[in-house]
Structure formats: C-alpha cells, structure tokens
Structure 1
C-alpha cells in the first residue's frame, strides 16, 4: 500500500518540478520564436521545458548549447532571433529541403558557436559578412544549397577554423585573400579543408592564397570558372593530400615545383587549358590518382617517370598530345587499376608484359596509332584499341577493337538468409528483415580507386559504417550499399540504406543521430581509399505514432498541484529516513564482509597506512562498470585477448574509458591482482596510459584505463586509422615512447621492465602524443642486488630480445631492444617479421653509410617521402636504432641516453621536442571487434618455450 502511494507521489512531484521549467527564459522565448516560423517541428516540442523535453535540443545549466535537427522535415526560414542563443555551440539543420531564404545577419551574434552545418537545404542569398564574428567556429559546412554572391572576406577572421565547405552553391567572384586591411582565406593557417568546388568562382587563383604555414590537406576547386596560371606557391603547402583544380579554364604551364607535394594522393588537373609539357611528378610516391586529361600540352614522348609512381592506381591522360610507345613497365605497378590514354598519338606495339598488376582492369587506348598488340588476351583486363591501325587489319578484329566495357552493379548481399516478401513501402534488409530504412546518397569527391567491380571496397565501407554506428549507440541492424557510379565530375556516388534494429522504423532520435554523424563527418570512411565525402539524405517519414499528453493532462488545476506538492514533501521526508536506514545497513554489511577483501583499506586517508593511497585509481563496483558499458553490450566490445575482453565505457562525467574484464580462467589470486594494481598505481607519466581504476567485486577482476581515440601506432603506420605520420611526428612518437620507458627504468622505485614494447602497445592521444600501454607482462626489479630478473620468456614475435630468449634473464636492455625494433617500424611501416624476413637482419645487411639515406630507400615508408631534405637527421636515427638492436645488452644504450639523442635529432630538424602537435581526430574510432590489432588487447603476446622465432645468429 505505502509503496504504491510513494510511487504515485514521486511521479506527481516530478510532474510539478518539470512543469515549473528549467530552460533560461531568453532561450525559451527564442526557441518558441523559431518554432513559430518553422513547419513540421518535432511533436516533442509541445513539452513545457526544451532542455528536458524537446528533441534535438541540448542544454548546459539551463542554457541551450546545441540544436541538431538533421532530416526532420523542417520547413520555413531561419529567424533572426537565432542570434539570441548566446551559449549555442552547435547548429545542424542539414537535409531539410524545405528550409529556405537567406541566413540572417544576426547569426554572427553566436559568438560561442563551434559547429555550423546546413548541408543540403534550400538556403539562398549571400553568406552574411557577420559570419566572421564567430571566433570559436571550427566547422563551417554550407554545401549543397543555393547561396550566391561572393565568399565573405570576413571568413579570414575565423582563425580556429578547421573545416570550410561551401561547395555546390552559386557563389561567384574571386577567392578572397588578405590585402588593403582585409583578411582572406590565406589567414586560415589551421584549416585542413577548403571545399569550394561546383560554384561559379572566377578570376585567378591568388598567389597569396598558399604559404608554408598552412595545414591544408584537401584543396577542392573543381568545376568553377577560374582562369590564369596555377600559382607556384601551391608547391609550398606540403601537407596537401588531395588537389582538384579540374573543370576550370586554367592556362599556362603547370608549376615545376608541384612535385614538392609528396603527400598528394589524388591530383586532378583535367579539363583546363594548360600548356607546355606535362609536369614531371617524380618523387610523388603517394600519388595514386592522376588525371591531366583534356589540356593543351605540347607533344611529348610517353614519360618514363610514370613508371616510378609506386602507389599509382589510375592514370588518365586523354587528349594530352602524348606520343611514342607505352612501356610495359607501366603495367607492372603493383597497384595499377586503370589506364586511359584515349585520343593521343601513341604508336608502336602495345605490350602489357607478363608481370602486369593483378589489380589491372582497364587499358583504354582508343583513337591512337597502335599497329600491333603482343597479347590478344590478358586475364581480367579490358583492352580497348578501337580506331587504331591494329583494328583496321581485316585479320585483326579482336574483342579489343570494341569500345564497350563490362557493366557492373553492386548491392549488399543478404547475410545468409532468404529475403521475404515485404509490404509495398518497406524494404528487406541484408538480414532479411522488412523495415523502413533511412536513405540517401554518399558522394566521395576523390576516391583513389577506379575498379568499381572490386567488392572489397564496398565491404570495407559497410563494415566501417556499422562500426561507427555501433560506437555511437545508434540502433542500426545493417546497412545496404548499392548502385556505385561516377558522375560527370568524377565523384563516386553510392546509394545508402540504413536499417533500424528492433523496430521496423527509426524514432526521431535515431535519424537525428545518423544525420549528425554524416553531416559533421563523425563517420570516417576507410582511408585512403575513399577520401573526402559528403552525404545527401532523403526525407524520412516513418517515425511511427507518438503518444503525447492530452490537453487535459497538460493543464492540472491548482488544487491538484498543491496537493501533489504537499505529498511530495511528505515523500521526501520518508525517503530521507529510508536512506539513513539503508546507509546504516550498508555500513554493517560492508564491515561484515570487508574483512576478507584485500582492498578494504585502500579507501582510507590514513597517511601512515602501508597500502597505496590510490587517489587517481579508484575502486569501481561491478554495477558501476555494468552501467558504464551498457551491460557489457556487444557494441561496446572493442577487443579481446588471453585475459578476456575489452569494453569501451563512458563515465558519468562523459570521460571515455577502456575496461579490461578478465575471464574466469585467466583471473589471478586476490593478492596477485592487488600486487599488479599496486605496480600500476605508482607509475604516473604523460607518456604512459593511465590506470584510472579497478573492480574487485562479485567475483570479477577488471582494470579501467583512459581511452585514447586515435588508436595504436600500428594502425597509424598501416594506414588503417587514416592518420598521416610525417617524419617529425614519427620522431616525436619515438621520443614520447622513449621518455615513458626511461621513466619506468630510471625514475620508478623499484624499476619496472615493460617486456612487451611494440607498435600495438603504443597509443596515440588526440595530439598524437605517444603513450605506452599494456603492462600485463611487466616485471618489477624488486631485488636491488641484481641487474636482471630470471623469468619465463614472454613477449611478441619480432620484438623479443634474443639475449633474453637465450638466457631467460630479463633486463632493462630487453626493452631497449624492443624499442629499437619499434624504431625500424617507424622508419619502414613494415612488420618486424614478414614473409619469413626479420627486419633487424634485413636492415643490418642493407645499411651502407657511404650512400644517401644509408642506402635504405627500399625500407623507407613512401608516405614520408624519400628526400634527404625532408628526413633531416635520418642517419643519426638509424645509427641510434642499430645501437638499440645490438645483440649484446651491454652494448645497447640506456633509455635516458636514447631520449637525449632523439631530442637532439628533433632540434637539428628545426622542431621543438617539447611542443605538442595540434589536436587531431582519427579516421575511425574503433577497430573491428575481436581484432588482434586493438590497442587494449594483447592477443599476439605469448610464452616462449619452443623454437626461437629469430633467424639463427651468424657467429662470425
């Protein structure tokens, strides 16, 4: 009886408090004004408190900080009252085609706005100059609207801007740069994205637009009306990865220094009026997509340097006055997929050779002067020689004399099930469930591949999408990709359908989350295959019926409110008394069972206690961690190892954590688990992953670490995370790792030997600072009399110290050896053991100190470039590496010596060893569940009791 009364009183009290309202009065009035000018606002906006009830509205301390209403069907105009939301930080109204009219000048009053996204609406008119007042703006995306007029010079005021996307509008005039007291886009030194394609921009590309201080990675100016020469200053922006200048009226020669852009992956210069000789791009080893078609270059024999572009997938040189014979070495490039050389003067014999790339799919030489072909059939390759002399011979009319290409269509196949019949407006998902999917088009502006028939690309993209949705707790059952095609601008477009989980439709929260993830680029496609993208959503009208409060329920009479308030006060008193009783009972229970808990005194503040006072590593209950991981849900399962599983969790304050949960068979005894936590709790260094806490509750053993979003060094070096590591960044990662190890070896008492240094155990924070992780194999040097620990051999293939393997005597120099292998990995991005070859032995045999870069060009990661002017201090780094991997531990340096040497190398390179890199986000947040490459697992560590994994040591 009393329980029922208490529940009723609590509900009534809650209603009274909500009815009072929590949102700031000015913000509430502003939202009501916006609501009055918009059509189709969410039904929840009938609630009395926007901060509590309104979908798409988020607040902090009663003030509105976020409005995200993507794909909600909004109509009308954006009221000038928007400027009154003085605490607003995020505004996303994307994919609402019925939002029209101009942006109000008052939008510039949003001085705290960091994110403004209005993708694929119907806004028009000029972009207001007041936009330059938003000094906190990081992300500005207004693409796919009808904006006209010029690009405001005031955008140059946005010194923090990271992302600028004004593409696919009707903007005109010149690109603004600074001068005569005004600012321009050249002032945006921190911006990485200039997406200005598909407008009506005219005039020349200003010489002043580019400088070495810029951090640009994407320069997209395609399909405008730009004229004049390509400025030579473009070659100064060495961070560039994608350059699109195609579809303009640019003329004159291409600057010779364009080959300084050694990080450029995609270069589009087609459909201009460029003259002179095609530029020599030797040294652009990252270049995968090159299109210089339809220009006015002078006649030139087929350049030999094409065959040196090791990363090349696509060569497009249609109508470029090329002549002579195509060398067979071109087709040996291992990544080559497509060669289009139509309408040139190429002659002689087409010889594809016997060692052509296994990825080669198309060779189009239509309308040239080829009079012979060496191979009439080349497996899996379409050859087109229509309108060549070889096809005019009556006896030579092979399939290559046709211009037809095989048609290809892709759609995500069913997942081991048979699709059933769905209602007329529902669609069957890949899991054969009928539902209403959220749909739209993914458009990739510069994909680095052209083999659209390769299903691997789409499988990667599907997997990446699902991992991203799961990591953001979006209830997605599956995704379906279909109809891959390239449009006239070279964009790769894919139809996307996202299917709901549990129900046959998404609720509004689901569509808002998906829309925001795709509009603000939270989702990162696999890199470098897909490159920059945008999303165009279709409308979604299947939210289902909402059961709101009736008018009679919304307006209670005064007597009920007063009665409810009195009842609520009585209830509060009862709850307080019950709480005191429960607290006393809890204390008695803790005292009764706590005597057997080895951690019972760790919460005390007695400074005389002989146990660690874990001020930072706190004790969590099992129920705490269960809640933070959504009941250890599958979507939060981000890795596994011999110990058990790793889960991502979110603490109440919003901090993300990685939680290692031991499986029953791998759990330690109480005292051993306590000893490990004691070891971890006494190491605190900025280059070590922090232990935040642990759980020893309900028969569970769990460790809680800080979560680092940029993943492992291994993923960065392999390209899996999409993070670009230049030479200086690699030096700083080596320095950070060395500092962490030096701290363990020389400043912790007693010293600690990590025993498992490898690229998978070096994690990168948001500024790419290196942090050593996974202390599961660490050993403490508790006996000060000895310089080693005799222990069973454990470690990871390829990184293990041979001296430790032979003697079973573990020393600090064992970590130094593993670090030396890691340094070789930083140089080469190669695995230590690959195809039976051991990188230490290979490098030692190849080093020639009389040659530039010590003759190690074949080992250097092409992503860094091979220039001695870029790799300053490379020889010193190699010398240090070779010292670290000496066979004798005594011959290896201490980690503190290593730190000093790397600091000196950085200083000689002009870099500051103490300066941090700017914040950066990875191309993906999670790796595949269960993958051994996850930074918080250790699947590839092992006990060594059998044959050595290392090549036999030559005693000579």
Structure 2
C-alpha cells in the first residue's frame, strides 16, 4: 500500500512539474517570461513543454535546453527583457524582421556565454549597444543593422576574437571608431573579422590609422554615409585581403594614399561625395609608374599623370571607380591600356576642364558637372546613363500568368499564393548595367539553389524592380513562393528569414555584400482546431487569429469584472488588447450547438464586412476547444438599453432619426455592398449598438445568411430568427419578441425583404419605446388598429413615446410611421428595399430640418440623467438565440394549443 502511495505521488509530481521531465525548467521559466511580455507569439506556444510540443522557432538540444531560437519574421512585438539570460544554453538568437521588437538591449545579454549568433536585423531596437556584448567570447555573427541604436560603438566588441561578421550599419551610432589603448580593447584587435559594416550612421572624427594592419583579414570595409573627417590613412593599404571599400558620403579630405595600389583583391572602391583635393601626399605632382601590371600611364590631371600620380592608379583599376563630388581639377588623360576589369569611371561634379581620350579606350566615363561639360559639351561623357531603374522582373516559366484574388500573387510557375517578400540591398555591386536580365537570373538561380539545398519549402523565386537608391545600393524586390500550399507556416518563414539574416545565402560574384529587409507576413495560417471536424483554416481578410492564451490574458482570465453579457450562445467579455484597444469577446459556452465548420463559415463571412454602421470583427479564437469572436467594443450598449432607460441615455427625436438612418445604412450595406451580400435574419433593437457618439452599428451575425448570385432573391432554409410565440398562461414568458417575417415562416424562402420586415418593427420601437409584444399585444397590430390618417400624428399619441409625440415636426413622425407600415407589409414584394428605406429616412430628416449627412455627434444632446452603466451589452446583445427557446427545441403541441401564433421561435423541420 505504501509502495502504491509513493508511485501515485510520483505521478502527481511529474504531472505538476512536467516541465522538468521534458524541457529544462530554467529554460522554460525564461522563455515563459519572455512570452508574457511579447505580443503575437505563435499560437502553439502553449503548455509546459516547448521541446515536446515543438514550439515554432524553438530548437531543443538533447538536454532539453534551447540552443537555437530563430524567430525571424514572426510579427513579434515587445521588448527583450533581462530574462533572456535564463536561456543559458542559447547559441543562436535571431529576432530579425520583427519591427515591433523595440526598446533597449538588456545588459544581461552578456551572460549568454554560449551565444555564437546574435542577429537582430530590421527590428526597432534603440538605446546604446550594451558593452556587455564584449563578454560573448563565442560570438561569430553580430548583426544589429537597420535598428535605432544610438551612442558609441562599444570598444569591448574588440574582445570578440572569434567574430567573423560585424554589421552595425543603418543605425544612429555616433562618436569615433574605437581602437585599443593599453588595457582598453578596440576594433583593431578583430584580426579574424571579415566584415566591418558601419555605413549609414553618424560616426565622426578621423578614421584611425591604428585600425588597419597587415594582420587584419578584412574583406569588406563599409563606412559610407557617416560624418568622418580627415584623410584616408595609408595603413589601409596594408590590408591585402580587402575586396570592397566604401568611404563615400563623408567629409574626407587630402589625397588617396599611394599604397592602395597594392590592394590587388579590391573590386569595388567608392570615395565619392567627399572633399579630396588635387595634390599628392607631398603637395607635388609626379608621373605614375606601372605597379603589379596595372594601368600603364592611364590618366593625367593638371599636366600630371593621375591627380596623385602613383596614388590614383588603384582607383581607376577597379571595376567601378567613383570619385564624384570631390575637388579634382585639371586635364583628364586616358591611356591606351587599362585594367580589363574596369567598367566605369565616375568623376561627376569635380573641376576637370579638359579631357583627352586615346585610341582603343572603351571604359565608360562620366564628367557631368565639370567645367568641360558645363561649357556646353555634348560628348557622351557629358550625359548620365539611366542606370538607376529597370523594368526587369522574373518571367514566368513557360506558363500563363493567372489572375489571383484574396491578395494572392501569381508566381513564376503561375500558382496563386501568398509570397514572403522584402527588399534585397546590395551595398557594392561591381556592375553598372541594371537592365541585364542575365545578371539577375543568375541571382535568382542562386537563391533557388540555396533554398532547395537547405530543405526550405520554396516553389519559386521572383525578382523585380532593380533600382540604384540614394546610397548607391542596388535594391531589388524579392518574392519567395511556398511549395505545396498557398502560404508559408511560421517554420517555413523562420527558415527562409534566417538564411537571409545570417548570410547563409551567398550572392553570385559581382553583387557584393548584401542585407535583406523583410515585409510583414500577414498570411500565417490561423490557430485552428483541426480535430473538431472544422474543415480547413478559414480564408480571412482583416481579422486576426487569437490564441486562447492571448484572449485569456486580455480578459484577465475571463474575470467576472470583465463579463458584460450572457445569453444562449454563452458570455461576452470586455477585453483590452496589448495596444490598448477595447474589444468585446463573445465566448461560446461548452457544448454549443455550432460546429467547427459553421464557425469557420461565420468567420469568413464576418471578416469581409467593413462599414461604419456595422460592428467590426477584430478577430477570432478557435483554440483549446474554444469558439470565440472578438468584436470592436461599443461603449453605449444597445438601442434596447436606451429605449428602456437601462443606459440612462435620453433619446430625443433627432437622435432617433439618426439612429434609424445609421441602422438602415448598415443593413443596406449588408444587402447591396457586402461581398457576398448578406441577409442578417435577426434585426432587432438588441442588435443595434450605439458607439460613443451615438452612431448606430448593426451587430450579431450569428444567423446571417450569405447570398450567392444564383440565390439572389430568395434562399430556401430553415426558419431562424427572433420570433414571437405566445406561451401558455401556465408558463412564464421570458422575453417579449416579434420581429420575424411571417412570409418567411410560411414559405421558408428567405429574402432581403425579411430583414426589411424586421426593420419595420424596429422603427415602431423607435417611435413608441415599446417592445414588439407587451402583455400579448403586438405593436404592429396596435398601430394599425389605432391609426387615423385624418388626425394629427395619425391619432397615435397614446402609443407613441411622449418624446416623439411632443416634437415640433409632427409630419416627420407621420412619414416615419408610413415607412414602418410599408416595411411590415404581409407580402415581401410590397415592401421597399433597404436602399429605398435609407432614402426615405433621409427625406424624413430633411423634412424635419435635419441634415442626414451631418455627424451624429453634432446633434442635440442625448444625455439625460446618466445612470451607472457598467455593462454596455445587455443579456441579449450580440447573441443569436436569446429568447425563451433553444434553437433546436421542437415546438410542442401544448405550447400552442388554443393560442395565437404570430410567428415561430424555433427551427421548423420539414
């Protein structure tokens, strides 16, 4: 017996602390802390075992710790808290392309001693880069580009002896470039680093001579578009491994060092947009000499071969040499021999006044903005070739482009899908012809080969719109299309994003260093319970899929304080989204009769509805066996609340007319403009909500029926709606109702005119402030029996609300009564359309001296003695089945024997 107790206790402990049996406890606690402060986390980040449940973006080691967290393009938002240090085994952290990730990097990130890749490309991080990063001795990739970091480059980065890639470009970093000084480290110590990408910052001061030495293995030096001053240090010529050098768009002065001629591996040098003068290091001009077989007497300026003589030789050896926007003067002489790699010499906006080109020289030269061209020169070197834009785009692969809907795009293989897209930026391409389709086809093929070889679910890749931007980067639009389905899941997006952010993809020769900035991917499959016979994930537009955890959090665990309504469907809760937006969450009760397939249909229908007089669907949740709809929160509750005095809001005649017009416009939109058109089927005062400006909004589409074109006119269906059975005297009548079209009940043919009938009953409510049925009396019959058109107000003073009866425009009241009576004609063919109803209410308003197009907030005050009103949604609002009967209960003979039935409150089965 004792043995059994121990076993039972062990089971309980494993169940209670199951995280210890699977995911490492410390790692789980740290990840859970991060999850709690992040928004839009993946729907499957649920439960206590990330490793056992395969949480998206989280990789687990044999020790059930997290060595790799790749969350690129997950649409995350929030901050990176100090809890990150709890992931002690973390080796890779990639949060790239999550623009909503903001705030400062915590100093605690320096405690991730095993981290080898810290990649935060294209996020929104700000503040200074923490010096603690210098403690990450295993770091190989440090990519912090395209954020909002400020302050100086931490000298401690110089301690990262294993660093291969250092990209701090496109931030707001300032100060000087740090170099070592005694016990203080600096970037000159990074002898194994191949990439210094510091462009597009606010770095100032001189480029330190100490930064460069023959020990460096640097291949990319990118310092463009900063505020650097002084001359180019001659020590740069010691870095024999350099391939790309960009020093343009600074305030550099002096000559280019003569020993740059020894940089035989450089294929791109850009020193344009500086203030270089026209003298050599000694202030003298001397003739050039041949070095390493390059450029035998290539140019002369001001009676000297090359401005700097020896110095400028290497500049003109590279495939594209940019010296524009400097202060070079004199005569330009070209030699008959030159580097076979040289394609373009760009000397725009200098002071060259003469040019001699020798025979056999075919390199393109641009002298626009020099005196030689300003004096009316018409030679081809006095024009700028159009290289900035091209109409290139990837052609289709022997197929016909198809027309796609729902924001899908036709791929090169002519498949409609939601592509993962963004822009590729090449910082130093070595070619100038951006209209060369062959060049871009080689890039596309390399992308496809890379994705396929790494097992990514990619069907095809498209490139388009090559552009040279203001930074002289080649910019290309990239679209990656999914294979096997029309969307990527988060795993697919993460894999592709990581390959672009950590430089797994290597461009073909000539493209140079690149970075990728992804667009937000809005087409992740919804969190959807596939075990509930619900079909595929709904095709939604403009509605968000919420996880159960997100809903639980924004309702404070469905607290009673946030409960604002209850009905046959379930409960409605007030919720606050992370961005502060208030929402109303309609939660189905357990055992609801609506199945997953019906729920999917409803979501797809609601997500297409967008009108100022219709309550908007914000999103949905179909997770953990829950069905929930998330609507915009309407502060002043239902029209029913105001008509009954529950809300404490007083409705004058002006306000009632504006509410009638707003509600009519909402229903008209459903009939005539929604795609597909919708029959509401449950128009009533509980389903007309009033916002903070008392604008009317049509709510609750639980019974709505879409109308396809073949069905336009009528839809044969089971009878549903809010109906008016009069119960036997011995049974308590729970609700007074009476909105259902009797023709619909009798024929089971649903048309738009059924909504018109219900709207007519609603108009009578506005006129009388009475429920459709009071003490067995039906308002439509009461009005018809009492009215006398020969008398003012049609002899209805005893039925009309005193506020209505006492208004100064009695003819407007009579005209609205006429409209209501037309709406409740027995035959639908005799009723107006909702378009006609809208026009007639507009006429009534004009007859009463009101402008139907004036905002509701400008009308007379509607405030009476405001009551305490915590629940703007009553027990009937936002619910389809709020009456005395359940939607599936059959009509018993005893319910109706000897009683008058005006309509039926249950489904009729034929």
Q: So what's the TM-score if we normalise by structure 2?
A: 0.52
Structure 2 residue ranges without an equivalent (≥5): 1-13, 282-287, 533-546, 549-910
CA deviation after TM superposition for structure 1 residue 222, in Å: 1.2
CA distance in 2, matches of 1:307, 1:20: 67
CA distance in 1, matches of 2:86, 2:51: 16
- Partner secondary structure for residue 45 of structure 1: coil
Q: Contact 2:28/2:48 (CA < 8 Å) preserved in 1?
A: no
CA deviation after TM superposition for structure 1 residue 197, in Å: 1.2
CA 1:314–1:180 in 2, change beyond 3 Å: closer, same or farther? closer
Counterpart among 320, 327, 347 of residue 341 in structure 1: 347
CA deviation after TM superposition for structure 1 residue 243, in Å: 1.4
- Partner secondary structure for residue 142 of structure 2: strand
CA deviation after TM superposition for structure 1 residue 277, in Å: 3.1
- Partner secondary structure for residue 478 of structure 2: strand
State the match for 1:365 in structure 2: 367
State the match for 2:23 in structure 1: 23
Counterpart among 533, 541, 563 of residue 514 in structure 2: 533
- Partner secondary structure for residue 267 of structure 1: strand
Q: Contact 2:268/2:318 (CA < 8 Å) preserved in 1?
A: no
2:392 is the counterpart of 1:410: yes
CA distance in 1, matches of 2:191, 2:380: 53
CA deviation after TM superposition for structure 1 residue 291, in Å: 15
Q: Contact 1:266/1:446 (CA < 8 Å) preserved in 2?
A: yes
CA distance in 1, matches of 2:386, 2:316: 26
Deviations 1:632-653 (A, max 9, x none): xxxxxxxxxxxxxxxxxxxxxx
State the match for 1:714 in structure 2: none
- Partner secondary structure for residue 171 of structure 1: strand
Q: CA RMSD in A?
A: 3.5
2:55 is the counterpart of 1:58: no
Q: Contact 2:119/2:502 (CA < 8 Å) preserved in 1?
A: yes
- Partner secondary structure for residue 101 of structure 1: strand
CA 1:411–1:110 in 2, change beyond 3 Å: closer, same or farther? same
Question: 1:443-454 to 2 correspondence within 5 Å?
Answer: 443-454=425-436
Counterpart among 318, 321, 327 of residue 328 in structure 2: 321
CA distance in 1, matches of 2:234, 2:345: 28
CA distance in 2, matches of 1:122, 1:191: 26
Q: Contact 2:276/2:327 (CA < 8 Å) preserved in 1?
A: no
State the match for 2:198 in structure 1: 196
State the match for 1:513 in structure 2: 495
Q: Contact 1:259/1:282 (CA < 8 Å) preserved in 2?
A: no
Question: 1:253-332 to 2 correspondence within 5 Å?
Answer: 253-277=255-279, 283=291, 300=304, 312-318=318-324, 319-324=326-331, 326-327=333-334, 329=336
Deviations 1:354-411 (A, max 9, x none): x565xx6x543335566xxxxxxxxxxxxxxx545554xxxxxx88876674863211
2:491 is the counterpart of 1:490: no
Q: Contact 1:202/1:226 (CA < 8 Å) preserved in 2?
A: yes
Counterpart among 454, 464, 481 of residue 472 in structure 1: 454
CA 1:63–1:276 in 2, change beyond 3 Å: closer, same or farther? same
CA 1:168–1:192 in 2, change beyond 3 Å: closer, same or farther? same
- Partner secondary structure for residue 273 of structure 2: coil
CA distance in 1, matches of 2:203, 2:299: 22
CA deviation after TM superposition for structure 1 residue 285, in Å: 7.2
CA distance in 2, matches of 1:291, 1:530: 28
CA distance in 1, matches of 2:488, 2:460: 13
CA distance in 1, matches of 2:246, 2:332: 29
State the match for 1:735 in structure 2: none
Question: 1:834-853 to 2 correspondence within 5 Å?
Answer: none
- Partner secondary structure for residue 226 of structure 1: strand
CA distance in 2, matches of 1:417, 1:248: 49
CA 1:352–1:409 in 2, change beyond 3 Å: closer, same or farther? farther
Deviations 1:424-462 (A, max 9, x none): 511111111111110001101111111112122101100
State the match for 2:80 in structure 1: 78
CA distance in 2, matches of 1:90, 1:191: 18
Q: Contact 1:478/1:500 (CA < 8 Å) preserved in 2?
A: yes
CA distance in 1, matches of 2:175, 2:142: 20
State the match for 2:122 in structure 1: 120
State the match for 2:559 in structure 1: none
CA deviation after TM superposition for structure 1 residue 180, in Å: 3.8
State the match for 1:948 in structure 2: none
CA deviation after TM superposition for structure 1 residue 102, in Å: 0.4
Q: So what's the TM-score if we normalise by structure 1?
A: 0.49
CA distance in 1, matches of 2:94, 2:333: 51
Q: Contact 1:300/1:321 (CA < 8 Å) preserved in 2?
A: no
Deviations 1:812-848 (A, max 9, x none): xxxxxxxxxxxxxxxxxxxxxxxxxxxxxxxxxxxxx
Q: Contact 2:77/2:100 (CA < 8 Å) preserved in 1?
A: yes
Q: Contact 2:299/2:305 (CA < 8 Å) preserved in 1?
A: no
State the match for 1:137 in structure 2: 139
- Partner secondary structure for residue 413 of structure 2: coil
CA deviation after TM superposition for structure 1 residue 328, in Å: 6.5
CA distance in 2, matches of 1:418, 1:92: 38
CA distance in 2, matches of 1:470, 1:286: 41
Equivalent residues, number? 508
State the match for 1:39 in structure 2: 39
CA distance in 2, matches of 1:206, 1:256: 18
CA distance in 1, matches of 2:233, 2:361: 37
CA distance in 2, matches of 1:25, 1:59: 13
Structure 1 residue ranges without an equivalent (≥5): 1-13, 371-385, 392-397, 556-956
CA distance in 2, matches of 1:80, 1:274: 47
CA distance in 2, matches of 1:97, 1:64: 24
2:187 is the counterpart of 1:185: yes
CA deviation after TM superposition for structure 1 residue 15, in Å: 12
CA distance in 1, matches of 2:172, 2:321: 31
CA distance in 2, matches of 1:274, 1:291: 17
CA distance in 2, matches of 1:55, 1:204: 46
**Which stretch of structure 1 is more off in the superposition, 235-244 or 311-320?**
311-320
State the match for 2:782 in structure 1: none
- Partner secondary structure for residue 183 of structure 1: coil
CA deviation after TM superposition for structure 1 residue 221, in Å: 1.2
Q: Contact 2:44/2:56 (CA < 8 Å) preserved in 1?
A: yes
- Partner secondary structure for residue 154 of structure 1: helix
CA distance in 1, matches of 2:478, 2:314: 37
CA deviation after TM superposition for structure 1 residue 157, in Å: 1.5
Q: Contact 2:335/2:357 (CA < 8 Å) preserved in 1?
A: yes
- Partner secondary structure for residue 324 of structure 1: strand
CA 1:344–1:136 in 2, change beyond 3 Å: closer, same or farther? closer
- Partner secondary structure for residue 253 of structure 2: strand
